[in-house]
Every structure is written in C-alpha cells, then in structure tokens.
Amino acid sequence: MSDFSPLDPASHRANLVMARSTAPISKFLTGLGCFLFILLLWQILVSALALPSFILPGPMEVLEKLFQRYEVLLQHTLVTGQEIIYGLILGLTMGLFFALQMLFFKPLKRWLLPILIVSQAIPVFALAPILMLWLGYGMASKILMAAIIIFFPVTTCCYDGLRNTPQGYLDLVQTMGASKWQRLRYVQWPASLPTLASGVRIAVVIAPIGAIAGEWVGSSEGLGYLMLQANARMMVDEMFAALFILSGLSVTLYFVTDYLLKRYIHW
C-alpha cells in the first residue's frame, strides 16, 4: 500500500503551496480572457452599427493612438499616478488618525462624526473650485481631493474594526494588566486590520475619481486634462486611449493592493 494519505501533513502543505503558486496565474489568465472578450464585443459593436470614429472608435484605433502618443500619454499618466498615490497616503493617514481619536476620546466622536458626514455629503465637484482657489492649479489640490474622497470609507472601516474587537480578548489583556496602548497594539489593531483592509480596497478604487475630477476643473497636466483637450479637439480616439490607461492604472493598483493585503493580513 502506498504511504500517501489525504491527511498527510507534508502532502497537505505541498498542495497548499502548489495552489498558492498557481492562483496568481489563474487570476491573470481569467483577467486576460475577460479583457479580450470585452475588446471583441467592442469591435463587434462598432462594426455592426457602423459607428463613425468620432462617436466610438474601434479598439484597434485606440491601440494605434496609444503607440503613436505614448510619450505624451506616459507623461500625463505619471502626473495622475503621483496624485493618486499621494492622495491615498494622505487619506489613509487622516482616516487612521480620526478613527483612533473617536476610539479613545468618546466625547470627540460627537464632533468628528458630522465632519465625516459633511466630507461625503458635499459632491467632490462642488469642492474642486474652492480647493483650486486655495491651493492653486498644481498637484496639491488634486491630492487633497483624492484624500477627501477616500477619507470616509477608511475612517469608518478602521473605527468599526477597532470597536468590534472580541470582548473576550479585551477582558483577557485587562486581567493581565495591559495598558491602553498595549491593548491597542497587541489586540485591537490586529483585530481591526481585516476590516480596515476592506476600506483600503474601496479607497484604491475611488481615489482616481478625486484626482481626475480635480484635473477636469482646472489643471495643465494629467490624464483628466488630456481627456478634456482631446474632447475639445474631437480626438475621441486619444480620449479613449487616456481612459484606457486610467482604467488599467486603477485595476493594477487594486490588484497590487489586494495581493499585499492578503499576504500581510492573511488572517
């Protein structure tokens, strides 16, 4: 009889390692298949309806524009990418800070909660002209807009994770004489990370909205600015090329973030 057993720990670990190593490849192939399917449907739609290029260019026209204008597109992509990354850093920092303030200073929660609600109740397009007036047409106003738009989900997810720590864990560390900061470091913070990870996933998806909205209102560089200029000149293929890059940037940012969160917050 073979020595192999379904319950053999060594075999089980080997199967887990193999599954983890093939999972990224499987996800990549699935994503590639979906992308090619969308391109096919796009081309079929353009061909079947005989749409002119100034209404809806075909995927090959957009890809051709990507190669023709790659230097200009790359330049504006770097600007928008910096705005998104810096906005994420600022928004995450603000969200974590406010969540900790609401956790440790209960009376302060009554004052901070309206700020959270107002930050989301006012449309980002309404805030954009004011931020442009205060901070100018540079990168700072776009970074702040991206931070504001992700501020609410990060704060609420972090605060919910911190306050919903299992009471049994808190009772245990209290009997061991842990201080408030030790309780946060060793119990509440690790317990809140899965919930916070959900907020971070939402943040990386919606952060580009703030950056692009700021570029639409007023800027001299970035993918949003390039799209406005292309639209004014009826260069629809270039506008779709910028939109294509923006979509790829957002999807890449999401999957990289998701991979890092699963790797370092595996529980």
Look up residue 90 and give its two tokens. 């600022």
Residue found under tokens 């989301």: 120
Residues 34 and 115 in one domain: no
- Helix, strand, coil distribution of the chain in percent, nearest 5: 85, 0, 15
- Quick one: how far is CA 87 from the chain centroid? 10
Give pLDDT, residue 97: 92
**For residue range 111-154, what is the model confidence (pLDDT) as tens digits?**
877 777 777 777 777 888 888 888 888 899 999 999 989 988 89
CB 149 within 8 A of CB 209: yes
- What distance in Å separates the CA atoms of residue 41 and residue 224, rounded to the nearest whole number? 26
**For residue range 64-98, what is the model confidence (pLDDT) as tens digits?**
999 999 999 999 999 999 999 999 999 999 999 99
- Tally of structural domains, the chain: 2
Residues 145 and 258 in one domain: yes
CA distances from 112 to 115, 117, 158, 170 (A): 5, 9, 14, 25
Residues 142 and 40 in one domain: no
Going by pLDDT thresholds of 50, 70 and 90, the confidence category of residue 1 is very low
CB 119 within 8 A of CB 151: yes
Q: What is the CATH number of the domain that holds 238?
A: 1.10.3720.10
**For residue range 7-18, what is the model confidence (pLDDT) as tens digits?**
455 555 555 455
Residue found under tokens 């100034």: 54
Residues 86 and 24 in one domain: no
Residues 32 and 65 in one domain: no
Residues 80 and 16 in one domain: no
Residues 1 and 94 in one domain: no
Residues 38 and 143 in one domain: no
CB 183 within 8 A of CB 173: yes
Domain housing 7 = 1-50
Over residues 21-46, mean pLDDT: 78
Look up residue 200 and give its two tokens. 């971070």
| Alpha helix ranges (H) inside 50-121 | 59-68, 70-104, 106-121
Residues 259-264: contacts with CB within 8 Å, 24+ apart?
259/24, 261/197, 261/200, 261/201
Q: Is the pLDDT of residue 185 over 70?
A: yes
Residues 38 and 62 in one domain: no
Residues 44 and 62 in one domain: no
φ, ψ of residue 123 in degrees (nearest 5): -60, 145
- What distance in Å separates the CA atoms of residue 187 and residue 132, rounded to the nearest whole number? 42
